[in-house]
């Protein structure tokens, strides 16, 4: 059977409201204690498989879950058991047979969960949904991680039903999207527990630092992952694959910044989470530009809203770059002391990512991407290109055509870089970045060797333009304080000199790009 569910984190301040909403109907309370099994090197988890034995009230159930057709769907195989013992023979004629046969004799308990669940079923116009509030913990070794989440699982009807409820509760109770399952969190916690155990109990500076790094790695920033497109995909399917990857990067970094695991006792979010979140947003906006003539895009208001969220996250990022990148270079060059009032990391990132507006935007786009948004209850409008006559080009040909146009525009402006005004240089930087993201999306469809050489040249350009942009932002900051802090004049002069050097390097880099292998051939 398949399972479709939307899971949202419930902050401590929202728990009472969510429970009260559940208790407006006939609810059931049950204690769920589970043991999750895997190999020592997490082979099941690496394949997207979770295997557990769970005591549900007084009965034991063995469950195996595998990836389904989209991000919120799982294939779920349930078998009642007389006690806490695995029976792997039940998977002999199932899609899980191969991986169980390969790793079954290496399985052991990896982590455990203990959860109090309060649930009831709610009917919507689109279908029946089971809403479950889980409170408890995940335990691996000596470590415990709190569980506080509400799940909206589709019982019958259309997937839109779980989003109708989920979006309403998110807005009402300030909930946060968490794309991690309990199994994913448990696997990561078990790896952390093993890592800490290997460090031993020695109390010295090196071990203390190693423990701190290990703990921080649990909430490590989510970077960019590769995307696998195929020539058999429709443009809509290709855009969906790209969007899911971008959304995953955005949502996971946003969740850490919103302190879903750590509120009140540990600051897991840091400037790199903000940076990776902004990268995810840029990638998504680049994808919309790349596919805009090939297939239908999300509603325009959602695309406009993303610009506002991106801008709101920009102030914190600019301050981080100034403090962590520009100032060390200035200090090495002899910069006298300056008071930048930088203090601690700007709180705006947390405020943005935890806001109902940002979280609602995430969930709405997720619903749209898997075809389960309430607005898609009937059928989506077709893109203009699909309405025209004639055979549509392949995804590869269509993407190459658009990427070539972007290449030409970047090269045309880049070859006269030293003559461009600052604003045009800024726009060129954004176009070069968009081109690089577009190449990442289409990478699996393009010739590897030629693409590698081309991307190396483009990456060099992006590095130069990125540094120049950081220096422009810093220069504006220093020019604003130089009357009150004369040492800022040193910074302004150093930046002018550095910009002159980078301008020459940019000209050479664009000449190099002109000679690079052409990925579209």
Question: How confident is residue 298, by pLDDT bands cut at 50, 70 and 90?
Answer: very high
Cα–Cα distance, 6 to 153 (Å, whole number) = 7
Enumerate the β-bridge partners of residue 134: 117, 149
Where does residue 153 fall: left (phi above 0), alpha (psi -120 to 50 degrees), or beta otherwise?
beta
Cα–Cα distance, 453 to 462 (Å, whole number) = 15
The per-residue pLDDT for 69 is 84
Cα–Cα distance, 121 to 98 (Å, whole number) = 36
Residues of the chain with pLDDT > 70, as a percent, come to 94
E strands in 125-241: 127-140, 143-157, 176-177
Cα–Cα distance, 163 to 6 (Å, whole number) = 7
Cα–Cα distance, 241 to 258 (Å, whole number) = 26
Cα–Cα distance, 27 to 121 (Å, whole number) = 8
Question: How confident is residue 360, by pLDDT bands cut at 50, 70 and 90?
Answer: very high
Question: How confident is residue 389, by pLDDT bands cut at 50, 70 and 90?
Answer: very low
Cα–Cα distance, 4 to 162 (Å, whole number) = 9
Question: How confident is residue 349, by pLDDT bands cut at 50, 70 and 90?
Answer: confident
The per-residue pLDDT for 387 is 43
The per-residue pLDDT for 380 is 45
The per-residue pLDDT for 382 is 40
**pLDDT at residue 350 tops 90:** no
Cα–Cα distance, 95 to 106 (Å, whole number) = 19
Cα–Cα distance, 129 to 5 (Å, whole number) = 9
Cα–Cα distance, 67 to 48 (Å, whole number) = 6
**pLDDT at residue 314 tops 80:** no
- Please state the three-class secondary structure of 293-351 as a single string: CCCCCCCHHHHHHHHHHHHHHHHHHHHHHHHHHHHHHHHHCCCCCCCCCCCCCCCHHHH
């Amino acid at each position: 059977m398949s399972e479709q569910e939307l899971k949202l984190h419930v902050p401590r301040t929202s728990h009472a409201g969510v429970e009260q909403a559940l208790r407006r109907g006939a609810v059931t309370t049950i204690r769920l204690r589970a043991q999750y099994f895997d190999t020592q090197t997490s082979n099941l988890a690496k394949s997207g498989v979770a295997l557990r034995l769970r005591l549900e009230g007084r009965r034991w159930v063995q469950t195996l879950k595998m990836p389904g057709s989209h991000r919120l769907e799982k294939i779920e195989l349930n078998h009642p058991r007389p006690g806490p013992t695995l029976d792997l023979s039940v998977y002999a004629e199932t899609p899980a047979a191969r991986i169980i046969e390969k790793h079954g004799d290496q399985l052991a308990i990896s982590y455990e969960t203990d959860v109090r669940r309060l649930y009831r079923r709610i009917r919507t116009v689109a279908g029946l949904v089971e809403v479950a509030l889980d409170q408890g913990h995940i335990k691996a070794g000596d470590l415990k991680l709190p569980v506080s989440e509400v799940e909206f699982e589709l019982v019958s009807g259309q997937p839109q039903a779980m989003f109708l409820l989920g979006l309403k509760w998110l807005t009402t109770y300030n909930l946060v999207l968490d794309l991690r399952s309990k199994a994913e969190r448990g696997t990561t916690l078990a790896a952390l527990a093993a890592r800490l155990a290997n460090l031993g109990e020695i109390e010295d500076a090196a071990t203390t630092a190693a423990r701190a790094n290990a703990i921080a790695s649990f909430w490590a920033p989510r970077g960019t992952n590769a995307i696998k497109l195929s020539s058999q995909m429709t443009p809509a399917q290709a855009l969906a694959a790209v969007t899911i990857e971008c959304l995953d990067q955005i949502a996971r970094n946003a969740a850490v910044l919103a302190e879903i695991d750590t509120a009140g006792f540990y600051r897991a979010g840091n400037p790199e989470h903000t940076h990776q979140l902004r990268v995810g947003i840029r990638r998504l906006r680049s994808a919309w530009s790349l596919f805009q003539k090939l297939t239908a895009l999300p509603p325009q208001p959602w695309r406009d809203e993303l610009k506002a969220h991106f801008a709101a996250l920009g102030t914190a990022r600019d301050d981080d770059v100034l403090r962590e990148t520009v100032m060390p270079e200035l200090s090495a060059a002899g910069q006298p002391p300056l008071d930048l009032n930088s203090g601690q990391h700007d709180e705006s990132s947390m405020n943005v990512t935890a806001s109902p507006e940002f979280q609602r935007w995430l969930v709405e786009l997720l619903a749209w991407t898997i075809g389960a948004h309430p607005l898609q209850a009937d059928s989506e409008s077709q893109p203009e290109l699909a309405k025209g006559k004639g055979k549509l080009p392949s995804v590869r040909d269509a993407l190459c055509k658009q990427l070539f146009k972007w290449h030409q525009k970047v090269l045309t402006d880049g070859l006269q870089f030293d003559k461009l005004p600052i604003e045009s240089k800024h726009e060129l930087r954004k176009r070069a970045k968009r081109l690089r993201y577009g190449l990442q999306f289409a990478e699996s469809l393009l010739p590897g060797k030629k693409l590698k050489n081309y991307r190396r040249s483009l990456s060099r350009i992006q590095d130069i333009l990125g540094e120049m942009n950081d220096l422009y932002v810093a220069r504006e900051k220093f020019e604003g304080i130089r009357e009150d802090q004369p040492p800022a004049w040193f910074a302004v002069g150093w930046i002018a000199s550095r910009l002159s050097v980078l301008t020459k390097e940019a000209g050479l880099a664009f000449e190099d790009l002109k000679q690079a292998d052409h990925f579209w051939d």
